Amino acid sequence: MLQLLRKGAAGWFAKIFLGALVLSFAVWGIEDVFRSGGSPNVAAKVGDREISVETFRQSYRNEIQRVSEQARRPITPEIARMAGFGDRVLGNLINEAALDQRAQALGLTVSDDEVAREIADDEIFKGLDGRFDRNRFNEILRSNGLRESDYVALQRAFTARRQLTDALTGAVVAPAAMREALHAFSSESRTISYLTLAPEAPSAVPAPSEQALKAFFEERKGSFAAPEYRKLAILTLDPAAIAATKQVSEQDLRAYFDQNKPTYVTPEKRSIEQITYPSLDEAKAASDRIKGGGLFEQEMIARKLAPTDAFLGNLTKAEMFDKKIADAAFALAPNTVSEPVEGSFSTVLLRVTGVQQEQARRFEDVRGEIRKVIADQQARSELRGLHDKIDEARLGGQTLDEIAKAQGLKVRTIEIDAQGADKAGNPVTDVPEISKVAEAAFAAQVGAENEAVTAGDAYVWYEVREIAPAHDRNFEEARATAEARWREEEARKRLATRADAIIAELKGGRTLEQVAQAQKLEVDQSETTRSGGAPDITAEQATAVFATPVDGFGKTAPNEQGARLVFRVTAENTRPFDPNAPDLSGQADRIAQGLGADLVTSFVRRLRNDLGAEINAGAVAQVVGGGEG
């Protein structure tokens, strides 16, 4: 196998990009590693192993790329530095170097056959047939600038490290006491009786006094500040808008329909069953038995075919692979069995169990669709030319208003904040990609000429006409907003007060049923775990339930709809722990993995300390920028 794999080498990129050569334990920190100066070409040293700056730099870049792809957005060097990517990457390199030296000291070796097997079993290198694909292997390595022989060496070292850590963790099992404690915690549930208190509509809350509203405003004045607004002139080229103005002649509509008639025809489909025979004679014998009163189903049984095996599908003629069999199937009357059909590859008997007739849509039925298709085509063809004309006019010094007049277009004026919302706080929805337009506009200067914003198939040109700076609103400006917020907050306070009053009644001896009757509410029952209970109890509300003793009363925080629950805990339930029961949840495995990870972490930390590890802080800072990673 290695003869197939020996053709090149890999940098550390293989380890991170391919995700195959990094141990599955947690990243171990390097806070305890001694930091010093040293050779400018060495990022760190562990025992007698040096980690070059170039190795660290490549690994660091690859980690940023990996996380960027995972997050689906670019991770800047500054973000990477602040997030500690440098420490994480260097920590992995240091720990692997320490493990490599320990494996070498113990004489751990990995055979060529085992390395080849590891690579061949890697899912990333498998083709559509689920087997190792040499071409895919070469392409992945080549596209990432990897050479094969070094990748093989990396795989060999990784396998040796894994053998070492597997030896440490192989006998680790989850202690029964820990399993029982976690079982009790996770399986415990509480049964409650409860009332649901819905919040008042803010509009139903009595209006505040002038004094109360002013005090409310002054306490929160900063939250009522007006953001910066920008007044923009907008010229939009949208193919959908252009298409809506197009007039399509009857002649063009008819011509398009005639040219594309097959598009508006749903071909006939047939539900077809097939029995295959090894020879024409056997097929004829089966046909004779059916003609003599036998059943097609009996022949299926004789050929050991289940109904699903004989059913080819609900197919059009074009979907059938064998033309001879297709011709026979589509000439066959429904619910009859064909004569033996000698296809290109087999001899068969056919039965058609259902027919969906061909359906052709009339011109009148598709007229609107055709008009839209033609108008869209015309609009897209016209769009590019209009775009170029507008750009040329902009280069010639014309304003958007002048261009719009010359081209028969319209310029709109909008006022938005940096998020693309209007002064009422509502998102502007009739400008394509308003968030992109807002981002560009808030980076532009008043009166400056700007590049068009590409918004899907549309283009948006904009000019910043005015800037209204962010400022504190006075009381009168913020009155309406302040009153709305006051009412919302007051509604929440009134609901909390109501809940407290009910709890006081319950503690005073009244039952939930009595309170419910007095307040025209319903008493509900539910069982909840710590993660919540269907359908009305959230995880946050369950926290309040589990903080309340059996027969105790409590209230929950508001849910997303603002409702609170007032409840009584009626029972505490815990399923018995059976240490011999199947671990369907995988809890024991997770505990063992966690303990194993802790064991390996401690082992590597001790190994690192015994070997002696040093980091060249200056060299590391040059790679991550601005200081240590």
Among candidates 16, 163, 15, 25, which has minimal Cα distance to 601?
25
pLDDT the model gives residue 70? 80
Query: How many of the other CB atoms lie within 10 Å of CB of 95?
Result: 25
Strand partners, 271: 314, 354
pLDDT the model gives residue 547? 92
Q: What tokens appear for 45 in the block?
A: 């040293």
Strand partners, 313: 272
**DSSP codes joined into one string, 209-274:** PHHHHHHHHHHTGGGGPBPPEEEEEEEEE-HHHHHHT----HHHHHHHHHHTGGGGEE--EEEEEE
Q: Which residue has better confidence, 603 or 170?
A: 603
Beta pairing class for 453-455 and 458-468: antiparallel
SS3 466: strand
Residue 130 has pLDDT above 50, yes or no: yes
Residue 162 has pLDDT above 90, yes or no: no
188: CB partners within 8 A, 6+ apart: 529, 530, 546, 572, 573, 574
Q: Which residue has the tokens 């710590």?
A: 530
User: With bands split at pLDDT 50, 70 and 90, how would you rate the model's confidence at 584?
Assistant: low
User: With bands split at pLDDT 50, 70 and 90, how would you rate the model's confidence at 626?
Assistant: low
CA–CA dist 569, 545 (Å, integer)? 7
Q: What's the whole-number average pLDDT of the chain? A: 85
pLDDT the model gives residue 229? 95
Whether residue 178 contacts residue 602, with contact meaning beta carbons closer than 8 Å, is answered with no
Phi-psi map region of 313: left, alpha, beta (phi>0 left; psi -120 to 50 alpha): left
Among candidates 577, 574, 493, 511, which has minimal Cα distance to 216?
493
pLDDT the model gives residue 109? 84
Reported as a single tens digit per residue, the pLDDT across 484-517 is 999 999 999 999 999 999 999 999 999 999 999 9
Give the whole-number percent of the chain exceeding pLDDT 90: 37
Residue 181 has pLDDT above 70, yes or no: yes
- CB-based burial, 209-241: b 16+ in 10 Å, e otherwise: eeeebeebbeeeeeebeeeebbbbbbbbbbbee
The region of weakest confidence among 199-213, 361-375, 407-421, 527-541 is 527-541
pTM of the predicted model as reported, rounded to 2 decimal places = 0.47
Residue 19 has pLDDT above 60, yes or no: no
Average pLDDT of the segment spanning 209-233? 93
User: With bands split at pLDDT 50, 70 and 90, how would you rate the model's confidence at 585?
Assistant: low
Whether residue 347 contacts residue 340, with contact meaning beta carbons closer than 8 Å, is answered with yes
- The widest CA-to-CA distance across the chain, in whole angstroms, is 103
Phi-psi map region of 343: left, alpha, beta (phi>0 left; psi -120 to 50 alpha): beta
Residue 570 has pLDDT above 50, yes or no: yes
pLDDT the model gives residue 531? 81
DSSP 8-state class, residue 126: B
Q: What tokens appear for 135 in the block?
A: 């071409």
Residue 79 has pLDDT above 90, yes or no: no
Q: What does each C-alpha distance from 590 to 188, 275, 579 come to in angstroms? A: 19, 51, 15
- CA 487 from chain center: how many Å? 38
pLDDT the model gives residue 607? 83
Q: Which residue has better confidence, 31 or 363?
A: 363
pLDDT the model gives residue 15? 36
CA–CA dist 599, 559 (Å, integer)? 42
CA–CA dist 236, 432 (Å, integer)? 8
SS3 422: coil
